[in-house]
Amino acid sequence: MGLAGQVVEENSGDRAIDLTNARVELRRADVAVGVSSFDMAVGITNAGGAFGIVGLAAGRYAITLTPDPSRVPVWMTSATVDGTAGSAMAVEISESTQGPIRITVSPNPTQIQGVVTYTDGRPAAEYTLVAFPNEPGLRILPSPRILTAAPALDGTFTMRGLPTGEYLVGAVGTGDAREIDREMLDDVSGTAQRVSIRPGETIRVSLSIPRVR
């Protein structure tokens, strides 16, 4: 099936903004790990923020928006289909869905600021911090919903630009973010801290991990 869509700026009175050549991507969030061309659909916006998506099957989809890097950066805050309230995390599409897909964006990024220490209070600077969706089906790599950060020597860290939604923030025992995979995210989910992120919000977290002897 095919659906039309529109990108608008938050709190702009529904005014469409110039997002020419922004990439809108829908990935199935209810299929096994490993995305095929049948599980993903892409649309490109025009100057008014309008776009079209074709080749969709019924299912649950994660939506991402990547602006043209030559333009002012914006971040997703919400997405709806057929006027049904949703978040920036995922939307449901059925055979009866008529559209449009509506994506709201903001020029103000969300932030997670925090510190990671050992239980004795000393910085755990050799770990990598990762924020990822609480919903397992949305842990699709690579994704703007999965961010990593290397802490400073004092254990402090900052992550910017996550779409709004429910996330887990945890520490993984690798100094190379490229080594993080879906299995590692699932393993750390049991000890990670859950956070809820709203548009433009700054969240502060404190992680404490035991030393491995």
Looking up tokens 């932030």 gives 111
Determine the Cα–Cα distance for residues 148 and 71; give it in Å rounded to an integer.
24
- Residue 67 phi, psi dihedral angles, 5° rounding: -65, 155
pLDDT digits (tens, 9 = 90+) for 32-77: 444 444 578 899 999 888 999 988 888 888 888 888 888 878 888 8
pLDDT > 80? residue 192: yes
Residues 12 and 33 in one domain: yes
Residues 174 and 148 in one domain: yes
Range of the domain at 199: 111-209
pTM above 0.75, yes or no: no
Residues 176 and 131 in one domain: yes
pLDDT > 90? residue 202: yes
Residues 175 and 83 in one domain: no
Sign of the four-CA dihedral 194, 140, 102, 9: positive
Residues 84 and 133 in one domain: no
pLDDT > 50? residue 125: yes
Q: In this predicted structure, what is the pLDDT of residue 33?
A: 45
Reported as a pLDDT band with limits 50, 70 and 90, residue 199 is: confident
Q: In this predicted structure, what is the pLDDT of residue 184?
A: 86
Question: What order of strands is seen across the sheet that includes strand 101-106?
Answer: 50-53, 3-9, 101-106, 75-81
pLDDT digits (tens, 9 = 90+) for 154-185: 999 999 988 888 999 999 876 566 678 888 88
DSSP type of residue 144: T
The domain boundary residue, chosen from 106, 121, 150: 106
CATH code, domain carrying 190: 2.60.40.1120
Determine the Cα–Cα distance for residues 80 and 85; give it in Å rounded to an integer.
6
Please tell me the total count of domains within the chain: 2
Residues 122 and 77 in one domain: no
